[in-house]
Amino acid sequence: MARRLWAWIRANAVLVLGWVILAYMLAPIAVIILLSFNQPGSRNTTYLLDLHDFNFTLRNWTHMFDPAGLKDALIMSLFIGVLAAIIATALGTGIAFALARYRFTGRSAVQALIFVPMATPEIVMGSSLLTLFIGFGIPLGFWAILIAHVMFCLSFVVVTVKARLAGLDPRLQEAAMDLYATPFQAFRSVVLPLAWPGIMAAALLAFSLSFDDFVVTNFTSGTTETFPMYVWGINLRGIPPQVNAVASLTFLLSLVFVIAGQLRNRRRSDDRASFS
């Protein structure tokens, strides 16, 4: 029996390794979802998973915003995340198109420098931004957080959109213009739809980075409280179990976006295959 099991593992090593890595990645999320249905004995045991003392409840979901300050902090994080994603995506997409389609002086330097914010440790970036804001008299709070989030999201947007543009054939745009489309019409009807999946992926990535950022926000928040700041602050008094429900809901919404994107891509691939 053991020999047959070992032979099966050797024949399916890649598959087994893939499932092990997947389980390693998703295990913390599975624990949080499980804890979101548990009523702990106290706030100090919110993150203790004891299956022998598991008290199933839906109260963490049905009364998600009962803890004082949780709703306001979550709304603030969502608001900043959406704004940062929109601004960073608009700016980053323009930069990505410029880098991918045009040749200009300093292009190589821009391509290299665009990676600097990605490679900079957050603690360094946060302290630098704090010094910058104080030096220029910019008050800490909402606008300081937004400026900081747009700044570090911008690099990720540029890299994501530029990777998408690199796979597009520029002759498609030229073909559209040969058929008497104006440059704007060719861009709107040919280039933009093809680049759209990359732009949306970049926007979702920017929102995710902004939503869960703690280190940079801690330096620039002033009295403004985002969801990560709320969790960090309330941890000193014991985390309410509703935080697990919020975390689970965030993951499930992200999963819905990913599945919807995959289904959309599959449908478009099937449509292209049916026309070819």
- For residue range 90-118, what is the model confidence (pLDDT) as tens digits? 999 999 999 988 888 888 888 888 888 88
pLDDT tens digit sequence for 29-61: 998 898 889 888 776 677 777 777 788 889 889
User: Rounded CA gap, 179 and 216, in Å?
Assistant: 50
- At residue 263 the predicted structure's pLDDT band, cuts being 50, 70 and 90, is confident
- The average pLDDT across 10-25 equals 87
Instruction: Indicate if the pLDDT at residue 1 is higher than 80.
Output: no
pLDDT tens digit sequence for 152-163: 999 999 999 999
Torsion region of 88: left, alpha or beta (phi above 0 gives left; psi -120 to 50 gives alpha)? alpha
Instruction: Indicate if the pLDDT at residue 229 is higher than 80.
Output: yes
**pLDDT at residue 129 in the model:** 92
Q: Are 73 and 227 in contact (CB under 8 A)?
A: yes
